[in-house]
């Protein structure tokens, strides 16, 4: 078999893995392309006309969305700690072993700032970068030169990627605290104690902050004050970020379920059981909700939580899918990035 046959599966073979139509409302979804990149450290990101993703092989891939062609590969000296971020053509990545945040323009390193034990994606907004560390510091850097603008000491390690919105930064720590800081100077505006470690990114929607905890409890807070509005208990650890769709908040749990709650009241609307842990949050597209599970399946549900389509991939799905150019991008533990379209 030639090189193309080894690296790209026939669409006929993959069509055999698709769940047969359940009814006339089943979405027609097919594999458009796939690309071997190796073990991924996060969901891919889309910046402009490029897909950017980091791997545990110390490589950042830049791909073309329409066909998955490799535009370039950037080799790092350290392991990526999380997903990259971009501002213009500059890529920002936090790396372990090098213990720092890097700014890359092509193969050139523009600057490197030492950040001991970086754990989160560097979030870039309005000329600033925020990154959390395992030593409990949230750092704010100047995106132009990496200069330290301020830092804030949390009560525990910071695994939760910071969220910037309307001049404020929100994040959680490994001791169960949620923080809201002034983005300009790092001054604390409020803090909430959930009494359980927070590992996943927070979600902001309709004046609320939503997040899950390791104890399996999901919270909704008032964004302005940090006051608890409601909570909901699941039967497993929550490591999934939340997503929002038509007045609902959705998230996965280690009890192998995807949950859909009413955003206003926290009432359970439905839950969908899979065969593995669910660290993925769903992506709405074409009127359906797409998400992955550690059982290796990508699922499409309708708004009532009913299964409409699924596809078995070659490994567990740890991260959330990405919607890019009318495609659903999904990374699996077999080291392939898959792109599905209609």
Per-residue pLDDT tens digits for 129-139: 999 999 999 99
DSSP letter assigned to residue 118: B
Distances (CA, A) of 72 to 61, 285, 309: 6, 29, 34
Question: Is the pLDDT reported for residue 28 higher than 90?
Answer: no
The pLDDT assigned to 25 comes to: 66
Those residues with Cβ within 8 angstroms of residue 83's Cβ, 6 or more apart along the chain or in another chain: 41, 42, 43, 45, 53, 54, 121, 161
pLDDT level of residue 78 (50, 70, 90 thresholds): confident
For the segment 303-311, the average pLDDT, to the nearest whole number, is 96
Q: What is the mean pLDDT of the chain?
A: 92
The backbone region for 13, taken as left when phi is positive above 0, alpha when psi lies in -120 to 50, beta otherwise, is alpha
Those residues with Cβ within 8 angstroms of residue 245's Cβ, 6 or more apart along the chain or in another chain: 282, 284, 289, 303
Q: In what order do the strands lie in the sheet with 203-205?
A: 203-205, 208-212, 217-222, 228-233
CA distance 171 to 158: 8
Task: Give the architecture (CATH level 2) of 35-75+274-342.
Answer: Beta Barrel (2.40)
Distance from the first to the final alpha carbon of the chain: 29
For the segment 276-283, the average pLDDT, to the nearest whole number, is 97
**pLDDT > 90: percent of the chain:** 85
pTM across the whole model = 0.92
């Amino acid at each position: 078999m030639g090189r193309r046959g080894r690296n790209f599966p026939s669409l006929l073979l993959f069509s055999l893995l698709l769940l047969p139509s359940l009814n006339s409302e089943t979405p027609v979804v097919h594999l458009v392309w796939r690309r071997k990149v190796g073990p991924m450290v996060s969901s891919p990101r889309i910046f402009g006309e490029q897909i950017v993703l980091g791997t545990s092989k110390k490589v950042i891939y830049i791909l073309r969305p329409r066909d998955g062609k490799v535009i370039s590969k950037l080799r790092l000296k350290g392991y990526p700690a999380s997903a990259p971020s971009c501002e213009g053509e500059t890529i920002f990545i936090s790396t372990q072993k090098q213990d720092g945040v890097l700014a890359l323009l092509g193969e050139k390193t523009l600057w490197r700032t030492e950040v001991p034990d970086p754990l989160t994606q560097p979030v870039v907004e309005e000329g600033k970068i925020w990154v959390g560390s395992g030593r409990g510091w949230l750092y704010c850097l100047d995106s132009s030169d990496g200069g330290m603008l301020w830092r804030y000491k949390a009560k525990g390690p910071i695994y939760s990627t910071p969220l910037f919105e309307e001049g404020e930064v929100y994040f959680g720590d490994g001791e169960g605290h949620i923080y809201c800081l002034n983005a300009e100077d790092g001054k604390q505006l409020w803090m909430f104690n959930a009494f359980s470690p927070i590992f996943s990114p927070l979600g902001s929607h309709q004046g609320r902050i939503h997040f899950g905890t390791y104890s399996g409890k999901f919270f909704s807070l008032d964004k302005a004050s940090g006051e608890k509005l409601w909570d909901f208990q699941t039967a497993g650890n929550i490591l999934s970020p939340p997503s929002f769709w038509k007045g609902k908040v959705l998230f996965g749990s280690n009890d192998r379920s995807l949950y859909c709650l009413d955003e206003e009241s926290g009432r359970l609307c439905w839950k969908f059981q899979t065969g593995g842990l669910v660290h993925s949050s769903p992506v709405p597209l074409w009127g359906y909700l797409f998400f992955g599970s550690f059982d290796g399946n990508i699922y499409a549900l309708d708004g009532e939580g009913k299964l409409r389509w699924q596809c078995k991939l070659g490994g567990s799905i740890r991260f959330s899918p990405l919607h890019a150019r009318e495609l659903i991008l999904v990374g699996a533990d077999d080291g392939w990035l898959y792109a599905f379209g209609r």
